[in-house]
Structure 1
Amino acid sequence: MSSSRINQDGIEAKLNNDSYDTDKSIKLLREALAVYAPPRGRLLTELAAILETRFREQGHIQDLNEAIELFREALARHAPTHPDRSISLYNLATAVQIRFEQQGDSKDIDEAIALHRKALTLQGQSHPDRGISLNNLAGAIRRRFEQQGDSKDIDEAIDLHREALALQGSSHPGRSTSLCNLASAVNIRFEHQGDSKDIDEAIELHREALALQGPSHPDRSVFLNNLGIAVYTRFEQRGDPKDMDDAIALFREALTLFRPSHPDRSKSLDNLAIAVHTRFEQRGDSKDIYEAIALHIEALVFRAPPHPDHSRCLNNLAIAVQTRFERQGDSNDIDDAIELHREALALFGPSHPDYSTSLNNLASAVNTRFEQQGNSKDIDEAIALHREALALRGPSHPDYSDSLNNLARAVHTRFEQQGDSKDIDEAIALHREALALREPPHPDRGEPLFPVPPGATPASPGTRPVTGRLDDRMTGPATPAGTWSATKPGISADHYGHVLD
């Protein structure tokens, strides 16, 4: 078989994009590279893209690392004046950002941002793909904000998304995606700064994006999911039960549009499960918590090891099982929740962006078991875990105040058991520090300082676990030049796949 035929088969396999044999495509492209004389940038790019696809499917980090090196080689073959240099910059930036999502190395997200900035500088104001490059850069900066908490990053990301949207009129095929990207960035700023105007704007932007997608549009499920996330977020701030019911209805509709084999079905299952779980905590209908657990289990089946989101699914299931224990008291549930959290934590390295959250969740479960069973080893372990989580979140981290409060509550709980005055003094000092970081109109400023006694409210705050974050990282609509930005990659309503050079 000639090398040109090998290349053609690989390209056709990739572009058909249904159920092509990934391993076969990789084998064919490796054979082609072995015999193909330079220039071979197209082959390098295609092999890298398919390796990245296999990483998404199977989770083997060596595939992603090899893809990055191949993208680097392809970029090196494109001089600064080469017409495809911006595409090569984008491809490498995307792969490096995916590695950041998995391993949390800040050097990767910094490199991705630098590469996206270089790609943007190659595209003048009239370039047809400038809006895509603006969205890519904005998405990467937004992810850095979520890791590092510098407010300048989220403000810049929003400005870049607004600039991209301004380039895309009402009939532009990429307008709905730009609306979605801007809405998600504004939503994130609301979550960290609490300005209610942001969440209202996010919902309106998502509604406008959804209105551009007819009932038969192939990406309607992604836009339903994104609107559901924003409505759910507003419920968390204002507590309007209509928002909760609307969010669940949107998530259910999105789920019905995903066929069982769709790669985003597990994310849709998780989002619906999290919303139903929250409704159980608000209203207490046991059918909701049982449904939430069943949905999380189904999602976990889709993300078996070594899937990169396996640990996230373990975490979500553990939280739901812990909630059922808190309401029904079966000690098997709290033991199961702790084991699930330990399993999730073991899959994260200390540099992973979700490691501190996983520590917090395990600490919460161990603290809950202490409150029920009174074993002092549990409260000591919970405090140690919260201290470790706090140490990983510097004062600029957007969740630093949460860690302060979590540690304060655990220390206060130990004071109530053991009576050591140093514990109550430390708890008060930690709460004061947390309060200083939550200036009005922060949505959590009014949160109770000390744990509410069990049963005092429908959902006592205590040292609550971080209920699984709704997943907006869905495979989104394709556009001519292809792009992807960010959960983790942030909202993958802006992930379009690689462009071949």
Structure 2
Amino acid sequence: MQSSPDPALQMYDLACELHLKFNQGGNPADLDQAIEWAQRAAEVAGEAHPEWPMCLANLGNLLRIRFDLLGGLTDLQDALRLGTEAVRLARPSDPMRPLYLDFLSTALLSHFERTGDGSGLDRAVDLAREAVHIVPTDHQWAAGFWSSLGLVLRSRHRHRGHRPDLDEAVLAGRKAVKLPAEARTASTACQNLSLALLDRFAITGDSADLDDAIAYAEAAVGLAGPDLLTSQAHLASALEPRYRARSDRRDLDRSIDLLRTVVTAYPAGQAARAVHLSNLAVALSNRYRSTNELADLDEMIDLLQQAVDLTADDDPGRAASLNNLIQAYGSRFDARPTPADLHMMITLSQEVLASTPPGHPQRAARLQTIGNMQQRRYVMTRDVDALDQAVRVHAEALKVCPDPHPDRAGHLSDLGTVLTLQGEANREAAMLALAVALHDDAVRLTTPDDLYRAGRLHNLGNALSTHHKLTADRRSAERAVDAYSGAAATVTGPPWLRTDAAIYWGEQAAHIGDWVQAAAGYRAAVLLLPLLTWRGLGQGTRELQLERRPGLAGDAASSSIAADLLDDAVPLLEGGRGVLWTQLLDTRSDTTKLRSVRPDIAARLDQIRAELG
């Protein structure tokens, strides 16, 4: 950058050089110095200086960048004030005006993300539109401006749900990635387009959008340079929905590896680190759901607590972190019920609900978490008030998600589950019939390859089985057998759930004297044991999985004898009882100690073992 004899512009140039140094090295001290020199430039220039708007806009943009890094609300407020003044003062012919428009649009977007107040989104979109219309497509700023337009349109869609905004965001993003740009801008454009495509995939389920989103996320990593951590974090987040859609464990393991890299490298104490901690915890939650590895549960809670501690009390993201923390405590409660974890869930849920009023876009999801917590409270304490509250909040969550909302199936299943408990407690057949109807709808709305299909079939089986116990309706028992067998056969379901479904299949069939079906259910459960206790799990977790299912081998053998399948009895008895002995004969060792020292290598070894079976 050429030096200027004008003192204000010399200071401005120095601020720009320090900003560039910060972009290349990521040292917050460089950003602080850039802000100091930008402030001096504005003070020396004064209102009469022809470059006064430029000095204001530059200072405002630097303050906004520091806000994004550290979360100081004063920086953001000053950025908005300075940016607004710069745009007001800039002449229409000022060649820098498009840049001022972009700076202010970005600051307004940051304000929305920080406060949840969407009142400035329309202006942010208008400013971004004006910027792209001023500069020609071959201008060096054009790619960045089109990408910014796509980003604010995506945010307005997320706030208001107006689908044309999202489609326009995708179009703007696609234009941005085709325009010439330096590597950093091109990386950001690829990442922003990927975000919009992921949002659209969540609505439509179009696999082309999902594949494109991941391809652009990969491209962003390749172009990233100094922004590598941000791009890696986004790629990890993009892989997660593909794992949920296709159940490819490699996507999940890669996501976890990327997020570990980001969390390890990200400076401690920075507010932005909280997002990456939460994302890593969510990825571990997905792995726990598949493996029931208890070490993942404890790590999830530790990561989410760190994320909450880094998040300001008035930050709208705090409620999301608390909601995730409640879910993690809930999973640990399911595995190891303790009053302490239950009390923690109740305490946290009060803050979450208070910060999520009616009309909030996340209200249904947070009601779901609280309803599940109240359900656990009832199971532990048999407090009828807890069950009544669970029914009430799940019913409200379902009402917020009318058909064809993508989350409706989950809310139907949740409400059906608590109504099953209430119908059982009150011995009300009509309530149990309603629970069955809700579960039927949930299964109907769930695709065959959905990760949650096995669980929803399992819940349907529970409702039908409970209805049979109360009414002695054989048809309910037969349908329960069908539901449990369907859950056990759903390959996208977690092994522990499929195994339990197979056991219930056998139990329910035996209860009505259908020994052929009983033998088939218990046989399926025994055959699932190697998957349930695969070698990638710690030794203690494998032993616990078998301890929770005592007598399975004996039940499998006796049901085979009752079904006159004598040749199956002894192999099932030996196979069920010898799972861990067979593994002990293998020279490969437990990865628990390795994971504590080199989690990256342990994860890779687990992946290879899984692929080898």
Instruction: Settle same-fold status: TM greater than 0.5.
Output: yes
Instruction: Tell which deviates more after alignment, 272-281 or 397-406.
Output: 397-406
Mapped partners of 1:432, 1:108: distance in 2: 44
1:113 aligns to what SS in structure 2?
helix
Compared CA separation, residues 400 and 73, structure 1 to 2 (3 A): farther
1:231 to 2:284 alignment:
yes
Distance 1:87 1:421 in 2: 65
With over 3 angstroms needed to count, the CA separation of the structure-2 counterparts of 1:280 and 1:384, relative to structure 1, is same
* Residue 86 to residue 7, structure 1, CA distance change in 2 (3 Å): same
CA distance in 2, matches of 1:256, 1:144: 32
5+ long unaligned stretches in structure 2: 1-46, 509-545, 550-613
CA–CA distance in structure 2, aligned partners of residues 131 and 216 of structure 1: 26
Structure 1 CA distance, aligned partners of 2:130 and 2:443?
A: 40
The answer (yes or no) to whether the contact 2:114–2:315 under 8 Å persists in 1 is no
Which protein is bigger by CA-based radius of gyration?
Answer: 2
Between Structure 1 and Structure 2, the one with more helix by share is 2
- Provide the secondary structure at the position in 2 that maps to 1:128: helix
Q: Aligned in 2, Cα 1:432/1:112: closer, same or farther, shift over 3 Å?
A: farther
Aligned counterpart in structure 2 of residue 87 of structure 1, from 132, 144, 169: 144
Residue pairs, 1:13-162, within 5 angstroms: 15-16=63-64, 17=67, 18-19=72-73, 52=109, 55-56=112-113, 64=121, 67-68=124-125, 71-72=128-129, 74-101=131-158, 109-123=166-180, 127-151=183-207, 153-162=209-218
Residues 1:301 and 2:358 are matched in the alignment: no
Deviations 1:333-392, CA, capped at 9 Å, x for gaps? 011122222333344454544343333322222222122222234223323433444455
1:341 equivalent to 2:394? Answer: yes
Report the more deviating stretch, 211-220 or 146-155.
Answer: 146-155
The answer to whether the 8 A contact 1:138-1:158 is kept is yes
Q: Which residue of 1 aligns with 2:521?
A: none
Alpha-carbon distance in 2 for matches of 1:53, 1:216: 20
Counterpart CA distance in 1 for 2:312 and 2:124 is 29
Q: Distance in 2 between matches of 1:103 and 1:407?
A: 34
Deviates more, 1:328-337 or 1:372-381: 372-381
* Corresponding position: 1:250 with 2:306: no
The alignment status of 1:267 with 2:323, answered yes or no, reads no
Bigger relative contact order, structure 1 or 2 (CA pairs below 8 A, ≥6 apart): 1
TM-score (norm 1): 0.73
Alpha-carbon distance in structure 2 between the residues aligned to 1:38 and 1:284: 68
Verify the 8 A CA contact 2:53 2:90 in the aligned structure 1.
no
Contact 1:148 1:397 in 2 (8 A): no
1:112-170 Cα deviation digits (max 9, x unpaired): 3333222111146x6332222222233333344444445555444434333332334xx
- 1:100-119 Cα offsets, whole Å, 9 max, x none, are 54566766544433332221
Q: CA deviation at 1:443?
A: 7.9
Aligned match of 1:321: 374
> What residue identity is the alignment partner of 2:147?
Y
Structure 2 CA distance for partners of 1:57 and 1:155, relative to 1, 3 Å: closer
How many Å separate the matches in 2 of 1:163 and 1:31?
Answer: 35
Per the TM alignment, residue 304 of structure 1 is displaced from its structure 2 partner at its CA by 3.8
After superposition, the Cα gap between the structure-2 partners of 1:440 and 1:393, relative to the gap in structure 1 and judged at 3 Å, is closer
The change in CA–CA distance for 1:347 and 1:76 in structure 2 (over 3 A counts) is farther
Taking the aligned partners of 1:326 and 1:318, their CA distance within structure 2 comes to: 12
Task: Tell me the distance in 1 between the aligned counterparts of 2:298 and 2:258.
Answer: 20
- Cα distance in 1 between the residues matched to 2:207 and 2:497: 18
For the Cα contact (< 8 Å) 2:128–2:149, is it kept in 1? yes
Deviations 1:43-82 (A, max 9, x none): 7656755665565466566764665566455545555445
State the AA in 2 paired with 1:248.
I
Instruction: Specify whether residues 228 and 367 from structure 1 end up closer, same or farther in structure 2 by C-alpha distance, changes over 3 A only.
Output: same
C-alpha displacement of 1:327? 1.3
Q: Which amino acid aligns with 1:296?
A: S
**Shift of residue 294, structure 1, vs aligned partner:** 0.9
Residues 414 and 164 of structure 1: CA distance in aligned 2, closer, same or farther (over 3 Å): same
8 Å CA contact retained: 2:443, 2:457: yes
Give the paired residue count.
452
Does the CA contact (< 8 Å) of 2:138 and 2:180 recur in 1? no
Shift of 1:255: 2.6
Residue type of the alignment partner of 1:136: N
Q: Among the aligned pairs, what percent are the same residue?
A: 26
| 8 Å contact kept, 1:341–1:362 | yes
Residue number in structure 1 paired with 2:340: 287
Q: Could you report, residue by residue, the CA deviation over 1:281-321 in whole angstroms, capped at 9, with x for unpaired residues?
A: 11111111111221222233333455433333222122111
Alpha-carbon distance between aligned partners in 1 of 2:432 and 2:54, rounded to the nearest angstrom: 60
In structure 2, the residue matched to 1:464 is none
2:73 alignment partner AA? S
| 1:361 aligned to which of 414, 422, 440 | 414
CA 447–301 in structure 1, closer or farther in 2 if over 3 Å, else same: same
Contact 2:356–2:363 (8 Å) recurs in 1: yes
| SS of residue in 2 equivalent to 1:174 | helix
Letter in 2 for 1:356: A
Q: CA RMSD in A?
A: 4.4
The SS at the match of 2:184 is: coil
CA distance in 1, matches of 2:455, 2:358: 30
Match of 1:163 among 219, 223, 226: 219
* TM-score between the two structures when normalised by the length of structure 2: 0.61
CA displacement at 1:440 relative to structure 2: 8.9
Q: Counterpart amino acid of 1:117?
A: R
8 Å CA contact retained: 2:484, 2:501? no
Q: CA separation in 2, counterparts of 1:289 and 1:115? A: 47
Residue 553 of structure 2: aligned partner: none
CA distance in 2, matches of 1:73, 1:5: 21
Matches within 5 A, 1:202-217: 202-217=255-270
1:221 aligns with 2:274: yes
